[in-house]
Every structure is written in structure tokens, then in C-alpha cells.
Structure 1
Amino acid sequence: MISDVRMGRMTQGTVFCGTCAEEYPGRPVCGIVITARCDTTHEKTPIVNYLPVVTVEGWLQSHGGLMSIGREYAETRNRFKNLLVKKQLSETPLEVHSPIQIAAFNFPYPEESAGQKAAKERKDADEVRAIASRMNELTGCLDSPPPPKVSANSADSENSVSYATHQRLYVAITRARYRIALLGVKARGMSEVLGSAETHGLIQLEQ
């Protein structure tokens, strides 16, 4: 049964909508609660961990698209390298020259227009140029600016970092058996995350 989300009823595995994912700004995002069921049932924490769930379209426009392009580029590059090896050529020039330049220089069109040898050379020249052109297209996609991300100075980014920090502290404190020791750099002073605990005398600061 699908119902409205209530904090008292959220538990591990609960699916809810209307949340956000840092690298998918402006896109619809749902979430799956992964906080341990015992923690949510006994209200041990006011913070709930969740895995973001995005649409296939949104994923393809971000991480999924880049992954697919990278995979196709690797396969296309291997095909190009195999053609070079087949002709007993080194793949080293790929580090400094574009595939199109290498194809034009090492796979010229035959001067003769007839004969099986000329036909095979012409076929190889067409194939290697097509692969080189595709490699250039994929390289341009991979070199394009990455999908927009939330600025490091934005409120969403600050909230994400604060959330992750508090969650790590929660796990460490609730699982500790004897005591908790937090080490820091004196020159940087007390972390804002621990400010409230220091104010209420919950932690002891040792120089």
C-alpha cells in the first residue's frame, strides 16, 4: 500500500519522493531508506540515510551517459588499435596524433582502381577512417564540460557535507564500547559540527 510518509513510520526499505541528490539538481529524485530498522524503530537518530533514486533519463544525462560514452570509446579505440596491429603498425602515435591523421597517413587509398588487392585496401581505408571519425566524436563528448553540479559554496552542498559528517559521528558514537576520542588540529580550532556539544559540556577539550 502506498501512503504518505510519516517519520514515525519510516523504516529501512521505505521508498519516498520529493528528496534531492547533489549531482542531479532540478531533477525529480526519490529515496530508499537504508538506516538500520532498529535505529528508526527506537528513534535513536533524527537523521535518516537514504539512497537516491533518479529516472533513467536523468541518469543518462549525467553519470550513465558518460559511462556509456566511455565504454563505447574504449571499444572503438581497441578496434582502431587492432587495425594498426594487423598492418604491423605501432599504437604509440595515438598518444600524440589524432586518429584521423594516423588513418590518412598509414591507410592511403590505392592508386589502382581495379584488382582484389586494391579493393581490400580501399575497404580497409574506409573502415579505419570511419572508426577514426567516431573516436573523434566520442573524444569530444568526453572532453565536454561535466554535467552541472551543485556549487561547493551552495547551501545544498553545505547541508550534504554536514549530514555526512553527523552521520559518521553517530555511527562511531553509538558503536563505541568505552570512549570516543576526536583528534584535530589546534590551529584550526573546534569544528562547527562539535560546537553544540561543547556548549552543553558534552565533550572535554584537551590541548
Structure 2
Amino acid sequence: MITKAAIGPLTQGTIFSCALAEDYVDCVVHGLIITARCDVTNDKVDVYNYIPIVKFDDWLVREGVRALAGRTSRSAMGEMRNTLTQLGLAASILTTTPHNEVFRIIFDADDASSKISSKREQFVKHARRYEAAGKCMQPVPPIAAANALLTLEKAEAGKLVKELCSNAIAEAYYLPGVGPQEERAGYVALLREIRHIPRGLAKAVANGLDRPSYAALQATDSRCGDRLYIPDDDFAWPTGLLQSPFIEHLMQRLTLLFSRIGVSDVNEATVKRLQNRIPAPSGDE
């Protein structure tokens, strides 16, 4: 899937080190070149576009947890509404009143009936899920809150990981590594975050670029500033090349992500009317 990258040229599918990603400060980030091969070969472009690649573990406690939080929040709210419905109460109260206030009024009242008391733990369970999800909605969730939600929703988190590996998450693409024969926990390409580096910087990276050389390059070309993060003990260089047909598959996923068009659903009345046009089974068959 990923082979050794040649030192010298960068091309579509080349993975390089010391890249940047929006919500991954202080994380190891690689970049994957997506600029067309012909444009690179013929030197037609002034910038090379790339998408960031981050470690799976870093993705999981950021974008993964945010996706999990959204699912958990919707599920928990639905379960709290179901609990109220089972008690013959209006679930719509949760749209106007915070869930903790609903608990205080209905379940924590001194005169709560035995029927209501029997549903108390059920409501509390899903209220805790809802609260845990709410702590993970920010761009970079606190690590303690992220780990708590992953533990609480382990089964659903497992489904999310399976979706990632099955390419069922539109904005993410799973990669086993960033170089040949690399056996690690894996990486995730962030399809929604397209970045670029100037041509001169890209060519310098293609041959290996250390921190002092990068500083010198920034001094002569202001466009190169804040395009990479090269630690003192590291250097930016091509670490691997994503092979065919995987690079084409990734590019197809990337294209579909940005070319999707959403339209309104056909209204329910029309659906029912069309369903009613289906012939009913005859009685003699």
C-alpha cells in the first residue's frame, strides 16, 4: 500500500513529515500531496496542495470523540424522551427545560409516585451519557473528558473505528502507516483540511530539510513562513508513497466529499401517496 518514496521529487501520493493540521498542535503530523502528477512533473504549479495525516490515537481523542459525542448526545436525548413518554409525560419538555431541571421536578420530587421512581435510574443513566457527550463538543476536548466518553461508550466507539477502517466516514481516510513496512496503530488522513506549501519549499522538502535550513528559507521567502513545524532533532522529508489504486481511491473520496450536493427530501405526504399506488396482493393467490 505504501512504498519507499524517492528522495528528490514530490508527486501525488507522496507522504512527507513535519506538516501542520488545524487542531493538532504539538502532535506529529504528516502531509500527503494531492496535486496532480502532471502539474508537478511539468512544474506548472506555484503551490503543492496536501492533506494532513495524523496518528490514529490523536484523531480518536479529537475528531473521533467529537463524532462520538454527537451520536451519544442524540441517542441519550432520545432515551430520556422515551423514558418520559413511557411515564405518560410530554417528552417535549426537554426542548424547553434543561434535563437536570426536568429530573429535579419529576424524578427527585418528594411526592414522586412509585412508577416514576422506577424509571429514575433509567433517566439518570442517559442524563450522564448526555452530560459526558457535552464535555467533548469543543474542537480539542479535554483528554480526561475524551477518555471518559470513550470508556462510557466503548461499544459505539468500536463501531466508529470500524466505520473509519471501512471508509464509511466521509472526512477521514485510514492509513496503516506513513512509510513502508510500518506496523503501528495507524494514521488518519484528514480529507476536509486541504493545505498547501510553496513550490520552492516543496522542492526543499523533497531533498530533506532541517530546521536551520528551513529558517534560512523563510528569511529569503516570506511565503514559506509557518508552513511546517520542524523540531530541532527532526527534518522534513518524504517518508513514503501511497501506491495505486489507493491514491486514486483516496482522491475519489476527496472529490466526492466536496462535490456532494444536498437537496430537500420528498415530503412524507408524497411518499405515502406513492406507496398507496402499489397494487395490493390479490386474495386468490
Q: TM-score range by the shorter chain?
A: 0.5 to 0.7
> 2:4 maps to which residue?
2
Residue by residue over 1:156-206, the C-alpha shift from the partner in whole angstroms, topping out at 9 and shown as x without a partner, is xxxx99959x99xxxxxxxxxxxxxxxxxxxxxxxxx9xxxxxxxxxxxxx
**1:64 deviation in Å?**
2.1
Query: Match of 2:32, as an amino acid?
Result: I
Asked whether the equivalents of residues 50 and 195 of structure 2 are also in contact (C-alpha less than 8 Å), the reply is: no
> What runs of 5+ residues in structure 1 fail to find an aligned partner?
149-159, 168-192, 194-207
**1:139 deviation in Å?**
2.4
Asked whether the equivalents of residues 27 and 58 of structure 2 are also in contact (C-alpha less than 8 Å), the reply is: yes
Match of 2:140 among 147, 152, 157: 147
Residue by residue over 1:54-89, the C-alpha shift from the partner in whole angstroms, topping out at 9 and shown as x without a partner, is 111221232222121121111111111111222232
Describe how 1:28-107 pairs up with structure 2 within 5 A: 28-107=28-107
SS for the counterpart of 1:32 is strand
Residue by residue over 1:4-43, the C-alpha shift from the partner in whole angstroms, topping out at 9 and shown as x without a partner, is 542xx22111222221123322211112211111101111
CA distance in 2: counterparts of 1:140 and 1:50, whole angstroms: 31
SS for the counterpart of 1:45 is coil
**1:133 deviation in Å?**
2.9
1:122 to 1:87, Cα distance in 2 relative to 1, 3 A:
closer
CA distance in 1: counterparts of 2:132 and 2:23, whole angstroms: 25
1:17 to 1:162, Cα distance in 2 relative to 1, 3 A:
closer
1:66 to 1:102, Cα distance in 2 relative to 1, 3 A:
same
Superposition RMSD in Å: 3.5
> 2:17 maps to which residue?
17
Asked whether the equivalents of residues 109 and 121 of structure 1 are also in contact (C-alpha less than 8 Å), the reply is: no
Asked whether the equivalents of residues 50 and 196 of structure 2 are also in contact (C-alpha less than 8 Å), the reply is: no
Asked whether the equivalents of residues 110 and 121 of structure 1 are also in contact (C-alpha less than 8 Å), the reply is: no
**1:111 deviation in Å?**
7.6
CA distance in 1: counterparts of 2:195 and 2:19, whole angstroms: 17
Asked whether the equivalents of residues 51 and 195 of structure 2 are also in contact (C-alpha less than 8 Å), the reply is: no
Please identify runs of 4+ aligned residues in structure 1 that moved more than 3 A.
Answer: 107-112, 120-123, 160-164
**1:121 deviation in Å?**
4.7
Describe how 1:86-165 pairs up with structure 2 within 5 A: 86-107=86-107, 118=114, 121-142=116-137, 146-147=139-140
Asked whether the equivalents of residues 13 and 33 of structure 1 are also in contact (C-alpha less than 8 Å), the reply is: yes
> 2:232 maps to which residue?
none
- Name the TM-score, length of structure 2 as normaliser: 0.43
Asked whether the equivalents of residues 17 and 29 of structure 2 are also in contact (C-alpha less than 8 Å), the reply is: yes
> 1:205 maps to which residue?
none
Bigger shift: residues 94-103 or 72-81: 94-103
Asked whether the equivalents of residues 83 and 122 of structure 2 are also in contact (C-alpha less than 8 Å), the reply is: no
1:100 to 1:22, Cα distance in 2 relative to 1, 3 A:
closer
1:108 to 1:21, Cα distance in 2 relative to 1, 3 A:
closer
Give the share of equivalent positions with the same residue, in percent: 26
1:47 to 1:55, Cα distance in 2 relative to 1, 3 A:
same
CA distance in 1: counterparts of 2:130 and 2:24, whole angstroms: 28
CA distance in 2: counterparts of 1:19 and 1:111, whole angstroms: 61
CA distance in 1: counterparts of 2:15 and 2:127, whole angstroms: 46
1:55 to 1:147, Cα distance in 2 relative to 1, 3 A:
same
Higher relative CO (CA 8 A, sep ≥ 6), structure 1 or 2?
2
1:161 to 1:100, Cα distance in 2 relative to 1, 3 A:
closer
